Amino acid sequence: MIEVEGLTFSYHGAARATVQDVSFSAPKGSIFGVLGPSGAGKSTLQKVMIKLLPLQVGAIRYGGRPLAALGREFFADVGVSFEQPNLFPRLSGRENLTCLLGLYDREHDDPAALLAALGLGAAADQPAGEYSKGMKQRLVFLRSLIHRPSLLFLDEPTSGLDPATAELVKQMIRDRAASGVTVILTTHDMTLADQLCDTVAFLHDGSIAAMASPRALKLRFGERAVRVERRIDGRLTQEVFGLEAPEEQARLAEALRSPGIETLHSLEATLEQVFLKVTGRALT
Amino acid sequence: MRAAALWSLLWLDLRLAWRGRLFAVTLALGAVMAGAVRIFAPAELGGAHELEELAAAWAAEGGRLTTLRPQAQAMTLQARLVPAVICLDVLVVGFFFGGVMLLQEKALRTLAAYRVSPGGAGLYVTSKVLVNLLMALLYTALVLVIVPPAGASIGAIAGVMGVVSLGSATCTLGGIALAAPFRGLSSFFYPAAVASMVLSAAVPAYVAPAFATEGMSWIRALPTYQAFFALCELLGPGGRAGVLPGFLWISGVGLVITAALAWWLTARRVMQEVA
């Protein structure tokens, strides 16, 4: 479990704090998503949590112990997947995966099995410099897992991946969480967050604007609606009716009584819409 | 555990240096330099015969000949150039390689991956020093095979390896410390070139020792200057017993200073920069 309490971080010379009074906790085995557009403070928050930036104000506890009191044992327990692939281009995929393993005094996964699981088995002995962007992304993700960390920081893990591979990555993340690994997912991909996260925090201008499970957020902030497709005078028309206001409900009832209905779709709010409603700002 | 971690990191750095052709460049440079010395530098003592005749004539006329360092042995030009060839790579190129290895990893952002591992700045720097040390020892061995030192004992050869080890470690650490504040190879090149020129100022002082006097005596404080004469003393005794302790003293102090600087800058600057 990792707990963050009242975390505030300012870069030297900056007029305002990049991260302001952020508090949350991610229990063991949960997937916690930090969502927000570029510049919201996601990366800064993650960097403070993995000790790449110093803790200025607030407290972070991992396993009940203050982060500041943890040394190498913290890094031995952590896996980090960076958004920008950072590999040794002259080393093979297999070598990149295993080259830092000797620094960890713990059991690790079978490199060949991991590579095969994400479709890199055939390219395992090929120099990583010859990999495509997606292959590099997969390898960086696998490198964060191989030493069996208990706390996993993932920054846009499915960025640049085809849908099939992205699904494999998502399943691996779910499996790790199910085995007790705490996952901190940083992304602006609301679909990914919706599919994976137990809890999401919307980060807006450095502060948490809303935090709950994706379903709870959608129920609380989303607007339920129905889209009706009708053929009127030979032309196909579409109308959306909200389910909240009585007058909208009456209009929907009237539409349903009319002839020519071709399709009916229930429209659930997306996390993206919820984010826009909560922060007044789009994600991209 | 730390020994196992160091070995693991060393194995990684050895592969990176091998595939980055640093070993090939080092050994090719050694072969070319030593080969040139072997082919073009005379292996005989020029003028020794005339000197002996002159001394005999002087004695015949009742002149008194005083030998300042009776234990000194005359060295051929070839033997005298060997320390210079060794120092060129070990100190000057080693200095460059230390910085280049660090900056390449900065550019590739692989340092960020290392930064979030249980390794640390000390282990990182030590591994780089050991890789450069291995290259320096291989280079020296190659030079000594191509231009074998006449009459040098096993102890002297071991002494040469010791001097090379100390000099290589100091210069690699110096290169890492100098490269630490820079973001890329292009910005590091000019400061490194200036530093290499300063280190190379020992070359004229070695060829003509009077160069290091009259306002240029600072050259004697350079680790390269001390290394030149220490190697020369080991490969052909010149009767200058103070040279080796002088080298050990200056290089020892240099090693401590550069090690502290390299570690501090790597821990406080390089490892923080990845954020």
Q: What is the pLDDT of residue B49?
A: 67
Percent of chain A's residues with pLDDT above 70: 99
- Domain ranges in chain B are 2-37+76-270
Q: What type of residue sits at position B239?
A: G
> B124 contacts in A (CB within 8 Å)?
none
d(CA A265, CA A228): 7
More confident residue, A256 or A144: A144
User: What tokens does B253 get?
Assistant: 């102090």
Q: What is the pLDDT of residue B68?
A: 64
Is B108 in contact with A95 (Cβ distance < 8 A)? no
A212 touches chain B (CB under 8 A): no
Residues 120-149 of A with CB under 8 A from B: 143
Gap from B94 CA to chain A (nearest CA, Å):
22
Q: What is the pLDDT of residue B127?
A: 96
Q: What is the pLDDT of residue A78?
A: 95
Q: What is the pLDDT of residue B48?
A: 61
Over 70: is that where the pLDDT of B219 sits? yes
Strand A207-212, strand A235-242: pairing: unpaired
**Do residues A36 and A186 touch, judged by C-beta distance below 8 A?**
no
Q: What is the pLDDT of residue B241?
A: 65
Residues 31-50 of A with CB under 8 A from B: 47, 50
B3 touches chain A (CB under 8 A): no
Q: Give the pLDDT band (50/70/90) at residue A195.
A: very high
Q: What is the pLDDT of residue A13?
A: 86
Q: Which of A139-148, B115-124, B232-241 has the lowest mean pLDDT?
A: B232-241
Contacts of A259 (CB under 8 A, 6+ apart): none
Single pTM value for the model: 0.84
> A101 contacts in B (CB within 8 Å)?
8
Segment A253-273 mean pLDDT: 85
**Do residues A23 and A6 touch, judged by C-beta distance below 8 A?**
yes
Over 70: is that where the pLDDT of B240 sits? no
d(CA A58, CA A9): 9
Q: What is the pLDDT of residue B2?
A: 82
Strand A225-232, strand A199-204: pairing: unpaired
Is B12 in contact with A100 (Cβ distance < 8 A)? yes
More confident residue, A222 or A80: A80
Q: What is the pLDDT of residue B239?
A: 59
> B116 contacts in A (CB within 8 Å)?
50, 52, 75, 78, 80
Over 90: is that where the pLDDT of A169 sits? yes
d(CA A155, CA A146): 17
Q: What is the pLDDT of residue A75?
A: 93
Q: Return phi, psi of residue A249, to 5°.
A: -60, -40
Strand A261-267, strand A225-232: pairing: antiparallel
What ipTM score was computed for the predicted complex, to two decimals? Answer: 0.84
More confident residue, A181 or A249: A181
> A84 contacts in B (CB within 8 Å)?
109
Q: Which of A72-86, B49-63, B167-181 has the lowest mean pLDDT?
A: B49-63
Is B4 in contact with A53 (Cβ distance < 8 A)? no
Q: Which of A69-78, A152-161, A223-232, B216-225 has the lowest mean pLDDT?
A: B216-225
A55 touches chain B (CB under 8 A): no
Segment A131-142 mean pLDDT: 94
Tell me which residue in B9, B11, B117 faces A75 most closely, judged by beta carbons: B117
Q: Which residues pair with residue A182 across a beta bridge? A: A151
Is A52 in contact with B274 (Cβ distance < 8 A)? yes
